[in-house]
Amino acid sequence: VACAAGGLWLLAPTTKNAVALDPVGVAAALAAAFCWAMYIVFGKRVSTIKGGHVVSWGMLVAALCTVPVGLAQAGPALFSAPVLLGGLVVAVLSSILPYSLEMMALSRLPRRVFGILVSAGPAVGALAGFFVLGEVLTTVQWLAIGLIVLATGGSAATAGRR
């Protein structure tokens, strides 16, 4: 846990060149962290339900929240074949598949281990920026990524021993 936290701290914009943090942004980030923690806690509880029912219900709720907004913005064009096909591809690749895999992982891993594995997200984002966008990473950022990968690997390796 300390390796993951240290790595995340090193990835945070704490240098003299960093822009001052916006209190609203910090509050939003803390709220998101709280919601993510609740997702892990409650996800662990419902991960025992078989057959993908949890993800199906989650996608239904998401659709009920987003389709009215889409209708208000795009009107009937929302139901054109290209938009529906694109929406289906995005839904499968960005929601259904990842959330189904997360539910499978939550049913097999302790919450603590899952939380540490999820903490690799910023490191993966930094690596994607490096490889895909050509971002230049500093030595401190590489160290942070190394710490997060070490924490993730160590947590996964020791998960079965507990």
For residues 90 and 120, membership in a common domain is answered with no
Average pLDDT for residues 120-134, to the nearest whole number?
86
Asked which of 89, 108, 127 is the last residue of a domain, the reply is 108
CA–CA separation, 145 and 36 (whole Å): 21
Structural domain boundaries enclosing 87? 20-108
Say how many domains are in the chain.
Answer: 2
Report the candidate in 95, 132, 134, 119 with the shortest Cα–Cα distance to residue 9: 119
Pull the structure tokens for residue 43: 């996800």
Do 62 and 128 touch, CB atoms closer than 8 A?
no
For residues 66 and 117, membership in a common domain is answered with no
In a domain, 12, yes or no: no
Q: Which residues are CB-neighbours of 151 under 8 A, at least 6 positions away? A: 1, 2, 3, 4, 7, 116, 119
For residues 28 and 80, membership in a common domain is answered with yes
Give the pTM.
0.62
In a domain, 84, yes or no: yes
For residues 99 and 117, membership in a common domain is answered with no
Tens of pLDDT, residue by residue over 45-78, are: 887 787 678 888 888 998 999 999 999 999 999 9
